[in-house]
Structure formats: structure tokens, C-alpha cells
């Protein structure tokens, strides 16, 4: 019986690539999510009259724009809602893919999120800024903000 040690090659375990690939994908996904969150968090807030005038309100950037839905401008066609938004005697055309729903109507202040494309503000999110109760109690604030573009009396 031979009890002498055998000469053996060093054992090399094959590297397990699946866990490394999965961890890399999870990390990459986390970076994408954080980047998207931070990008949307820094949308500049502008009034209609500041677009293209104030620093940060360039037409080439993503914006949150405040204004009033002009009376008689609201149209819903082909799954899109279009209207004119005004602030301090300046106006822009807005197109929203969908129905803003809720209390969205003419003559109320709204904030639209989106981009200016070929002279039209293409919005992917609409926020109603003030309810009718707020408008009744704070008419002086709405008047000074340029939001009194039309009668606040709704039938």
C-alpha cells in the first residue's frame, strides 16, 4: 500500500457568474430609478409669462408651468385634451394626452408638467391648483397672480 501523497493540480472552482450578473443588474436598476427621480424633482417651476424669458424656464427643458385654463379654449378630441393656459396676459397652447379628470375645468389655475415642442406645451401631468372653495375665500390672491383670466362663476 502506497501512502505517499499524490501530486495534484490546484483545484480551481468555476466562478459563479449568475450572482455577479444579478447583483450588477440590481445595482444598475437602482441607479436608473434614482436618476429618474432626481431628474423629475428638478423640473423648473415657471409661470406662463416666464417661459423663454427667465433663467431655468428655457423652452428646451422640462418644466412645471402655472397658469389659468382660458375660458372657451378647452377641447377634448381623440383621447387628448387641449386648452390655452394664460398668466399675466401671456398664453400658451397645451396638449395633454388623456383626460385630466377631477375638478379640471375652464377658468381655474393649474400646473402642467411637460415640455415645449414646436410652440405647444405637451403635458404628461396636470395638477389642479385651487378648488372653487379656495377661489371664493382667496379671490384677492388669484387676482394678483394673474389667474382671473375669466369669470370664476361656473353654472
Write out pLDDT tens, residues 82-135: 999 999 999 999 999 888 877 888 888 899 999 989 989 999 988 886 555 555
C-alpha to C-alpha distance for 139 and 78, rounded to whole angstroms: 35
pLDDT the model gives residue 149: 47
Q: Apex CA 98: angle with CA 115 and CA 36, to 5°?
A: 45
Assess whether pLDDT exceeds 60 at residue 143: no
Assess whether pLDDT exceeds 80 at residue 76: yes
**What does residue 59 show for φ and ψ, rounded to 5 degrees?**
-65, -20
Q: Quick one: cell of 142?
A: 388669484
pLDDT the model gives residue 24: 93
- Position 33 confidence tier, pLDDT thresholds 50, 70, 90: confident
C-alpha to C-alpha distance for 34 and 83, rounded to whole angstroms: 33
| 96: Cα within 13 Å, side-chain hemisphere | 23
- Position 26 confidence tier, pLDDT thresholds 50, 70, 90: very high
Answer for the pair 115, 62: CB distance below 8 angstroms, yes or no: yes
Structural domains present in the chain: 44-144 (2.40.50.140)
C-alpha to C-alpha distance for 33 and 67, rounded to whole angstroms: 30
C-alpha to C-alpha distance for 9 and 78, rounded to whole angstroms: 73
DSSP 17-78: HHHHHHHHHHHHHHHHHHHHHHHHHTPEEEEGGGTTTSTT--TTS-EEEEEEEPTT--EEET
Assess whether pLDDT exceeds 90 at residue 28: yes
pLDDT the model gives residue 148: 47
3-state secondary structure of 101: coil
Amino acid at each position: 500500500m502506497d501512502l505517499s501523497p499524490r501530486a495534484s493540480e490546484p483545484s480551481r472552482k468555476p466562478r459563479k457568474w449568475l450572482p455577479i450578473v444579478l447583483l450588477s443588474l440590481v445595482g444598475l436598476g437602482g441607479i436608473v430609478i434614482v436618476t429618474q427621480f432626481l431628474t423629475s424633482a428638478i423640473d423648473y417651476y415657471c409661470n406662463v409669462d416666464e417661459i423663454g424669458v427667465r433663467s431655468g424656464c428655457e423652452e428646451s427643458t422640462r418644466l412645471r408651468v402655472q397658469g389659468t385654463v382660458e375660458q372657451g379654449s378647452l377641447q377634448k378630441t381623440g383621447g387628448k385634451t387641449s386648452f390655452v393656459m394664460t398668466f399675466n396676459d401671456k398664453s400658451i397652447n397645451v396638449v395633454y394626452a388623456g383626460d385630466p379628470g377631477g375638478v379640471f375645468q375652464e377658468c381655474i389655475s393649474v400646473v402642467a408638467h411637460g415640455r415645449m415642442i414646436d410652440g405647444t406645451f405637451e403635458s404628461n401631468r396636470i395638477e389642479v391648483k385651487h378648488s372653487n372653495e379656495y377661489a371664493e375665500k382667496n379671490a384677492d390672491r388669484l387676482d394678483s397672480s394673474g389667474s382671473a383670466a375669466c369669470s370664476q362663476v361656473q353654472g
